[in-house]
Amino acid sequence: MTLKSFRESFAEFVNIDELVFDIALVVLAFFLRGMIIPPGKTILDILDPLSGTILLLAVFFSAAYFIGFLQSQYAESMKEIPEKYEVVKGITMITLFGMIFTLIFVFFTKFPKPEFILILVAIFGGISIAISGLSLSTPIGRKAGCGVSIPIFLISMLIINFLIGFYGIDPELMEENSELAYPALRQGGIGVGVFFVLLILTDFVTSKFLNGKNRTGNAVTFLIFRFIIPVMLALSSGIWQEIAGVGLLQMLSGGDFWSLILPIVLFLSVLGMRVLLALAPPYRIINTGIGIISFTVYLISLVSRLFVLPAD
């Protein structure tokens, strides 16, 4: 039996991306968190505003592109019922943007007086990366979708690279000494050059490898969307869990209304993401069972985490 035939036989019973997501979520809950985050700490305790902002962008990327991939699956299976697809698309967009803005709000309330440039990077990055990921399914067809999505992502990264160049520069001092802006302008200029190189490479790659006929392109696409992005999304769920844990702990310690409502929104975003993944065609009942088990583990891990976090 060849690898391809084994994969096709296996896929008749189990959706690989769902299985990878659930396994990664369980591994994170039992092993990776303890290796990354010291006992009694949260992920917010080991981050500074800049590294945290970059991590947020990684979370947004994995969630947006995975939802874009799911939308393309829904679009393909709902060609004959476009009105139902529009409903599904609306739900996925609400889930994604709700998660993005809630994460941004919760994250920056944990850091006293974060620099405005980082808040701007997070908001712009969240919106633009979400649009880029969702554009993956705008035109039905892998090549067309990537041809729209990747340029949007590259432009977003170009602007984010330019904005981050101003991090750590006092605006008042910059008004007095314009030379302080030179490093950021130089960084932006280099970014423009890299952008055009990557744009040319994107056009070549999409036309050469993402035409649905190239075996290498099909294999790489399968690896990215069936393994890499589901793992990234599972790790993102762990990050949301940590942030939700902080908010819930504050609520239990007598926090305000937002300390309750924001973690609930984050939790529902994770749940909504998993439901969308489970319902994406083709439906496999085995994945539903595995998903219930892994999400139960996720909940147990979340609750147990609350009892070891110190109250602020």
Q: For residue 195, how many C-alpha atoms fall within 13 Å in the half-sphere facing its CB?
A: 18
**Whole-number Cα distances in Å, 281 to 15, 232, 276:** 9, 21, 10
The predicted-structure confidence for 111-146, as pLDDT tens digits, reads as follows 667 788 888 999 999 999 999 888 876 654 455 556
Candidates 63, 68, 77, 75; CA nearest to 21 is 63
Instruction: Round to whole Å and give the CA distance between 105 and 262.
Output: 9
| Residue numbers of the chain with a pLDDT score lower than 50 | 140-141
In a domain, 92, yes or no: yes
51 is a domain residue: yes
Instruction: Tell whether 224 is covered by a domain.
Output: yes
Provide the whole-model pTM. 0.78
pLDDT of residue 123: 92
Whether 125 maps to a domain, the answer reads yes
Question: Under 8 Å CB-to-CB from 160, ≥6 apart: which residues?
Answer: 57, 121, 124, 125
- pLDDT tens digits along 147-165: 778 888 888 888 888 888 8
In a domain, 287, yes or no: yes
- Domains: count for the chain: 1
Does some domain include residue 312?
no
Domain membership flag for residue 311: no
